[in-house]
Structure 1
Amino acid sequence: MRVFIVLFLLCLFGFGVAVMRIEINRSGRTISQLQNEVEIKEARNQYLQLEISRLSSPENITRLAREKLGLVPAKPHEIIVLDDK
């Protein structure tokens, strides 16, 4: 009877170890997938930051104003400054 109890406990322990290994492997895969997602999102964020810098540059804004809106810089003799008095 004692042998069966020891065998049962050993089987139970082995089953527990197997379940733990399966969970560790599953967690490892999940962590790996999440790390890949983070890397992709960081690369996308870096690209978007560069796009923001490029699009908000004064040269680009001037070019877009000229091409899309037909605006041109004012010549110095066309500028009139009004006082707030």
Structure 2
Amino acid sequence: MKYFVLLFILCLFGFMVAAMRIEINRSGRAISQVQNEVEIKEARNQYLELEIARLSGPQHVTAYAQEKLGLVPAKPHEIIILDDK
């Protein structure tokens, strides 16, 4: 009877160790997947920040105004400055 209890405790301990290792592996995979998602989103964010900087530059705004809106730069003799007085 004494050996049966000892064997039962040993088997229970082995089962607990195996269950813990399985859970640790599962958690490790989940962490790895989340880290990959974070890296992808950071790279996408960096790309979008560069795209914003490119699109908001004066050359792009001028080209867009000329091509899409038909605007042209004013000639110096066409500019009139009004005083706020």
Q: Give the TM-score, by structure 2 length.
A: 0.95
Matches within 5 A, 1:56-67: 56-67=56-67
Partner of 2:68, secondary structure, is helix
Q: Which residue of 1 aligns with 2:15?
A: 15
Q: Which residue of 1 aligns with 2:42?
A: 42
- Alpha-carbon deviations, 1:26-80, whole Å to 9, x = none? 0011011111111111111111111101101100000000000000111111111
Q: Supply the distance in 1 between the matched residues of 2:45 and 2:38 (Cα, whole angstroms).
A: 10
Q: Supply the distance in 2 between the matched residues of 1:24 and 1:67 (Cα, whole angstroms).
A: 59
Q: Supply the distance in 2 between the matched residues of 1:71 and 1:5 (Cα, whole angstroms).
A: 91
- Alpha-carbon deviations, 1:2-41, whole Å to 9, x = none? 1111111111100100000000000011011111111111
Partner of 1:69, secondary structure, is coil
Aligned length in residues: 85
Quote the sequence identity (%): 78
Q: Supply the distance in 1 between the matched residues of 2:35 and 2:49 (Cα, whole angstroms).
A: 21
Runs of 5+ unmatched residues, structure 1: none
RMSD of the TM alignment (CA)? 0.8
1:73 aligns with 2:73: yes
Runs of 5+ unmatched residues, structure 2: none
